[in-house]
Amino acid sequence: MIFSISKWSSTMTYHIKNRILFVTLLTVWFIPVSCWAQKRMNVSSSSGQPDSTRITQKVDSLLARMSLKQKVGQLIIIGSDHKHLDSLVTKGLVGGTNGMLPGKKNVHQYLKNMQKRALQAPLHIPLLFMGDVIHGYRTTFPVPLAEASAWNPGLVRAVDSVSAVEATAAGMNWTFTPMVDIARDPRWGRMVEGAGEDPYLGSKIAAAAVHGFQKNDLSSPKSMAATAKHFAGYGAVEGGRDYNTVDMSNRRLHQIYLPPFQAAVNAGVAAVMPAFISLNGIPAAENHHLLHDILRKQMGFKGVTVSDYNAIPELIDHDVALNNSQADKEAMKAGMDIDLHSGSYLENLPQLVKSGAVSKARLNEAVRHVLRLKFKLGLFNHPFQYGKHHTNAAEDSMLARHRPFARKVGDQSIVLLRNQNHLLPLSKNLTKLAVIGPLAKDQADLLGPVHALGRPKEAVTAWQGIKEAVSPNTKLMYAKGTGINSADTSGFSNAVSAARQADAVVMFLGESAGMSGEGDSRSKLGLPGNQKALVKKIVQTGKPVVVVLMNGRALTIPWLSKHTEGIVESWFLGTEAGHSIADVLFGNYDPSGKLPVSFPRDVGQIPLYYNHLNTGRPKQVGNKYTSRYIDVANTPLYPFGYGLSYTTFSFSKLHLNTHLLGWDDTLRVSCTVKNTGNRAGTEVAQLYTQDLVASISRPVKELKKIRRVKLKPGESKTITFTLNRHDLTFYGKQMKKHAEPGDFKVFVGKNSVSVKQAWFTLEAGQEK
């Protein structure tokens, strides 16, 4: 027996030695190949974005060492207005801090000091620093609704990439944007923050914004976490009144309001912020179906959910919680990871977990989401990589470097609504030009709402832009006329006097920045105060009048559309507003913007949107018993997708490669776009479809594709769009997304009304 054991031991030693040799040789071969494979896969375990498996291992290891209170602390975001912020950070009981925009004199120094304090805590977990970088940080770009008017997702991606570079240079690593809510009611103040009324355009812009901020690599010091908000249906608040309730069908939610969120999730968005609202009677902050069944299971979201500001305690006002403890319990169980601002989780979650009211598994899941984000951002390895080389001079240098780009974005964001008798572009050699209106020399309002660290004194006014654009021999005359929202008419006489002396008049009218944005809903959508009365006085002089609008929503302007020669929708264009406006007014840039929202004739038409369903009794002239108003047309004043140019474009008859589209085949829709004018310009070709007969009522038109076409005078270009059955899907009777065989119309044109059309049939097939 002793001999046998000895012989066995000797044999095993031989085999072990050979296995060690084999493993050594394998390792020598495998390591280079592994490194090559990682490089090919764009995955790095030592630099760049850490791979998912390694992050999971690190998160699990850290989670195992955390106390209950430390775990809860990671789910807390509080600002400098919290009296115990410094103490809680030092103890490691805060996950991040917000509220530094605006207000901090030195954002970079504040964030650096807070991070140092956090790293003194027992587990040395770094902080997240977040704020609203909505349309720029140091450089203020056009507001999102204006950017959407460019119909150029690539431009949005570039804007948000620049915004991330500026914000991360100051130390920030998380932004509460993009807002991807569909907005069909311009009374709602937050229309200004989104991409308008259409789910296709909104989805393209949502994905572009996420890619712009996150740059496909969150560990880069020039990228930051993005947040898709507000989940979901916030843009449909009743009466257009902010924070109000929303009640809609499940089909409308899925067909119209969820696609931009799905696009953001597909783009890898780091966070989602549920809305303040109740949706179909259940507040979003505690809506398990919304946050778990739809967001996590259906959409596949794996990131962080963060409440809107104080939204969890507000469950008490929604009448679904008796106190903060119950509100915290319901929010956490529903799937709300982070409590923004209230700090209530820290007070109540430990006891809720101890009592079993909230499971340990759910708590750990939420903490994992937060820790994974911090690892993805590279904060554990490089907690000070954001803002590492920050100086005030460098910040000012970035502004100077990015100004030309901001001007380019402003140029593309402007929409020309009216140009009677080709008054525009104006000659730079006019003898006398009157510049009138409360926004002509305004700087602060040009920046729009929520403009981060943009400084009004650095904004280029319309007056300045015009002064730099015209000939030195042109005499400019200025008159304010009235305030933005004033009843004072004492300035009318000076304005009329200036107009009478001029060859032409440019008026700068609209809203203040404070009339758009969160909490700023309006019941009337005309020009505020007595601005309309001022325009009437100027028009009575008989001089040609161009109105430049500055606003954050669609306005009701039928009188202007009938009585003025030109209307330019400039929205709030930001730092370079004056230069961009002058570029368009004087023809340095040919306007190419298109409306992302329908402009109603009257507030009584709202909600008004192009992709509506038909009725059993569509409007018929002379037939009383059809769907109509007795005092206004059904149609918008300016339709979705509308925008003029200084040149003209024609669209040829559509050519389809087939009229019988196979179930797994591709339809190619071609047409020739020609510049029929005498100057170069860019047209935005828009493709829409209509499902003619389906199992449920379908919209009269749906945007499916867009293409920007730049053409020289007389130049033609044939463009081809592709469609397949996946472009034709919708949620049917059983709320399953599918395409149905049958007949379709396809439209291509310059807006949702002015189109060429053809037809095709989708043949039957089997879903795979």
Catalytic residues, by residue number, are 308
Nearest partner of 250 among 276, 287, 302, 286, judged by Cα: 287
Terminal alpha carbon distance of the chain: 65
Nearest partner of 285 among 313, 264, 257, 304, judged by Cα: 313
Nearest partner of 621 among 636, 633, 609, judged by Cα: 633
**Is 659 exposed, middle or buried (CB count within 10 Å of its CB: 0-12, 13-18, 19+)?**
exposed
The encoded tokens of residue 280 equal 């179909």
Answer whether 213's CB lies under 8 Å from 161's CB: yes
Nearest partner of 238 among 230, 249, 228, 248, judged by Cα: 248
**DSSP for 412-437, written as a single string:** HH-EEEEEGGG-PSPPTT-SEEEEES
Nearest partner of 144 among 201, 187, 104, judged by Cα: 201
In 566-670, which ranges are continuous DSSP H helix?
A: 577-585
Answer whether 158's CB lies under 8 Å from 471's CB: no
Beta strand 271-274 with 304-305 is parallel
Residue 262: phi, psi to the nearest 5?
-65, -40
Quick one: residue 378, left, alpha or beta (phi over 0 = left, psi -120 to 50 = alpha)? left
> b/e map of 206-236 (b: 16 or more CB within 10 Å)?
bbbbbbbbbbeebbbbbbbbbbbbbbbbbbb
Nearest partner of 160 among 182, 186, 185, 141, judged by Cα: 141
Answer whether 290's CB lies under 8 Å from 301's CB: no
SS3 535: helix
Sign of CA dihedral 261, 265, 266, 268: positive
The encoded tokens of residue 564 equal 């003025």
CB atoms within 10 A of CB 358: 22
Sign of CA dihedral 450, 453, 455, 458: negative
Nearest partner of 229 among 265, 197, 256, 255, judged by Cα: 265
Nearest partner of 299 among 213, 203, 225, 184, judged by Cα: 203
**Is 21 exposed, middle or buried (CB count within 10 Å of its CB: 0-12, 13-18, 19+)?**
exposed
Spatial distance between the Cα atoms of 555 and 526, rounded to a whole number of angstroms: 6
Spatial distance between the Cα atoms of 291 and 652, rounded to a whole number of angstroms: 47
